[in-house]
């Protein structure tokens, strides 16, 4: 079984809709991250969490919110989706220098 | 502040010839550096990492990278390219500063094309 899973893997939604992307991990790591990938820009950090009570904004948090429901779960929400949020979204966990990425969620906002 | 620059957005090589993907970094602290590979429609896979041990780091699939502090570089090499190496490659630096958040800072990516 995969260490880091993301659901859904693909999603098409309309402008103005609320959408939640979910991430679960079985590594037992405290640190979890959400990144988005856009062509030519690499991956950029949206939010990160050091534990259930510690949530921090990344470099591009506007328009997003997160929830750390448990050590193993970290959800990313788009309260009112807009087309420039169309991207590939990755969840990651880490402990020390080890970094583990989920398979990604491809989100399209029309 | 930390940053990473991948000097080539696109590299094309013939199968069986050497691969060189260039990366320069900027860091106020002793950095941790990584190379990740992303095949089309796939997630990110760690190729190798440098964490202040040996400066020449060997990774999976025959790749290696050398940390050169004087040149602030961490170039990725492979002696002989294989068709299956065609993918996008990311050079990444980790925040090891006083905050030690573990955040990864990604380069823009280099697309490797391997011609038969």
pLDDT of residue B73: 95
Inter-chain touch B109–A48, beta carbons under 8 Å: no
Taking residues A22-47, what's their average pLDDT? 91
Instruction: With cut-offs at 50, 70 and 90, classify the pLDDT of residue B5.
Output: very high
Among A6, A87, A106, A103, which Cα is nearest to A45's?
Answer: A87
Nearest residue of A to residue B10 by CA position? Answer: A40
- Decide: A42 and B108 in contact? Cβ < 8 Å: yes
pLDDT, tens digit, 9 for 90 and up, residues B23-63? 999 987 778 899 999 988 778 889 999 987 788 999 999 99
pLDDT > 90: percent of chain B: 66
Q: Cα(A95)–Cα(A98) distance, rounded to whole angstroms?
A: 6
For A101, the closest of B44, B94, B102 (CB atoms) is: B44
Dihedral sign, CA of A39, A41, A47, A49?
A: positive
Model pLDDT, residue B42: 79
Q: Are A42 and B109 within 8 A, CB to CB?
A: yes
Predicted pLDDT of residue B101: 65
pLDDT confidence of residue B8: 95
Average pLDDT, chain B: 90
Q: Check whether B93 has a pLDDT greater than 60.
A: yes
* Partner B contacted by A66 (CB < 8 A): no
Q: What average pLDDT does this structure show over A20-32? A: 93
Residues A31 and A50 sit within 8 Å (Cβ to Cβ): yes
Q: Which pLDDT band, with edges at 50, 70 and 90, does B77 fall under?
A: very high
Inspect the interface and report whether the beta carbons of B104 and A92 lie closer than 8 Å: yes
CA–CA min distance A97, chain B (Å): 8
Is omega for the bond preceding A84 within 30 degrees of 0, making it cis? no
Tell me what pLDDT residue B51 has. 82
More confident of the two residues B86 and B97: B86
Residue A110, chain B, CB below 8 Å: the answer is: no
Closest CA to B48 of B61, B34, B67: B34
Does B108 contact A40 at a Cβ distance shorter than 8 Å?
Answer: yes
Least CA distance to B52: which residue of chain A? Answer: A97
Query: What digits encode the pLDDT tens for the residues A50-106?
Result: 989 999 999 899 999 999 999 999 999 999 999 999 999 999 998 766 678 999 999
């Amino acid at each position: 079984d995969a260490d880091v899973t993301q659901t859904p893997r693909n999603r098409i939604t309309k402008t103005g809709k609320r959408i939640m992307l979910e991430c679960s991990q079985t590594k037992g790591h405290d640190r979890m991250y959400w990144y988005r990938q856009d062509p030519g820009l690499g991956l950029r950090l949206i939010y990160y969490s050091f534990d259930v009570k510690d949530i921090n904004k990344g470099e591009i948090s506007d328009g997003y919110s997160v929830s750390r429901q448990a050590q193993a779960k970290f959800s990313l929400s788009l309260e009112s989706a807009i087309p420039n949020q169309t991207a590939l979204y990755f969840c990651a966990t880490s402990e020390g220098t080890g970094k583990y990425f989920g398979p990604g969620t491809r989100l399209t906002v029309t | 502040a930390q940053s990473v620059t991948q000097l080539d957005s696109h590299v094309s090589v013939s199968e069986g010839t050497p691969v060189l993907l260039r990366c320069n970094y900027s860091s106020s602290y002793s950095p941790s550096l990584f190379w990740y590979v992303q095949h089309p429609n796939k997630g990110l896979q760690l190729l190798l990492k440098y964490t202040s041990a040996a400066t020449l780091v060997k990774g999976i699939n025959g790749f290696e990278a050398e940390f050169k502090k004087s040149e602030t570089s961490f170039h990725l090499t492979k002696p002989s390219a294989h068709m299956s190496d065609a993918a996008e490659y990311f050079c990444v630096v980790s925040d090891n500063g006083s905050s030690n958040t573990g955040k990864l800072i990604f380069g823009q990516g280099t697309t490797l094309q391997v011609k038969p």
